[in-house]
Amino acid sequence: MAVDGVRLTASAREAAATGWSSAAAPMIGYALTLLAMATTPVAVAWLTKLIIDGLTGTASLSELLGLAAVLAGTGVVAATLPHASRYLGSQIGRAIAATTTDRLFAATARFPGLRPFEDPRFLDRLRFAQEGTSRADGIVTEAFGLVRSAVIVSGLVGSVLVISPAMTLIVLCAAVPALIAQLRLSRRRTTLMREIGPALDPEAEADVHARMRGPDQPAHLPPAETRCGTPT
């Protein structure tokens, strides 16, 4: 389990570096968009509270209309941001897929001859790499999604804490089972995706990554009789 976590962290770092080198501007826009999406629910909650307090208090009509206008504007922004997020996420996905596919083709073009492509184990590695080119962006977007969720939870918990510390404790206790369930589901989903994908041992997976980012003569080259048309 610890080894899988280390490998997943390394894969996330490599995917983030690839995304930054191939789509820096969309990644910045995506991060800002998700940050805005994380803060709008908190802003809506506070604006709603202020309007209710104004209706039950001594707020003037102009103040209530101003708060209502700001709340309406925030709602429009909240409805627009998901579309911008999907567009920027698609841009990141296309850029990462193009970059990783180019690296994969460049790595396979370095083989002298076609004999390696007749090896089932090597074809399994190649298929794994081909599928990875279309999934690398998911690591980046999911990481941004985790940050967004953390900002939302922090903002809402802070808001409830200002209003009622006792209510904050109740909400946190109620959220713990849901958090544990989500973590277990995510772990099972990750395990399932690894099981239904091409079967690769750690050495084979390291071979694929080494070829995609390595020099002209990467590690774990096939034996001489596999690289050449005839045995040596």
Band of the pLDDT at 84, cuts 50, 70, 90?
Answer: very high
**pLDDT reading at 216 higher than 50:** no
| Better pLDDT: 108 or 46 | 46
Provide the pLDDT for residue 158: 83
Round to whole Å and give the CA distance between 122 and 114. 12
What residue numbers bound the domain in which 83 lies? Answer: 2-217
What domain count does the chain have? 1
Round to whole Å and give the CA distance between 229 and 232. 9
Q: Which two tokens stand for residue 58?
A: 């001594």
Provide the pLDDT for residue 7: 62
Task: Give the residue-averaged pLDDT of 102-120.
Answer: 79
Provide the pLDDT for residue 193: 62
Round to whole Å and give the CA distance between 104 and 100. 6
Amino acid identity, position 227: R
Q: How many helices (H) and strands (E) does the chain have?
A: 8, 0
Q: Is residue 38 part of a domain?
A: yes
Provide the pLDDT for residue 73: 93
Q: Is residue 92 part of a domain?
A: yes
| Better pLDDT: 167 or 136 | 167
Round to whole Å and give the CA distance between 122 and 215. 19
The answer to whether 19 and 140 are in contact (CB under 8 A) is yes
Provide the pLDDT for residue 194: 59
Q: Is residue 130 part of a domain?
A: yes
Provide the pLDDT for residue 102: 85
- Name the residue among 45, 42, 49, 47 with its Cα closest to residue 69: 47
Provide the pLDDT for residue 12: 67
Q: What is the CATH number of the domain that holds 193?
A: 1.20.1560.10
Sequence-distant (≥ 6) Cβ neighbours of residue 153 within 8 angstroms: none
pLDDT tens-digit readout, 24-60: 898 899 989 989 988 898 889 888 888 888 888 777 8
Provide the pLDDT for residue 200: 45
Q: Is residue 161 part of a domain?
A: yes
**pLDDT reading at 224 higher than 70:** no
Phi, psi at 119, each rounded to 5°: -90, 120
Q: Is residue 115 part of a domain?
A: yes
Looking at residue 38, the DSSP 8-state letter turns out to be H
Provide the pLDDT for residue 60: 84
The answer to whether 26 and 137 are in contact (CB under 8 A) is no
Q: Which two tokens stand for residue 176?
A: 């713990």
Provide the pLDDT for residue 220: 42
Provide the pLDDT for residue 80: 93
pLDDT tens-digit readout, 117-162: 777 788 777 777 777 677 667 777 777 887 888 888 888 888 888 8
Q: Is residue 223 part of a domain?
A: no
Mean pLDDT of the chain: 75
Q: How many CB atoms lie within 10 A of CB 109?
A: 7
Provide the pLDDT for residue 32: 92
Q: Is residue 226 part of a domain?
A: no
Amino acid identity, position 17: A
pLDDT tens-digit readout, 2-24: 555 566 666 667 777 777 888 88
Q: Is residue 232 part of a domain?
A: no
Phi-psi region of 220 (alpha: psi -120 to 50; beta: other; left: phi over 0): left
**pLDDT reading at 228 higher than 60:** no
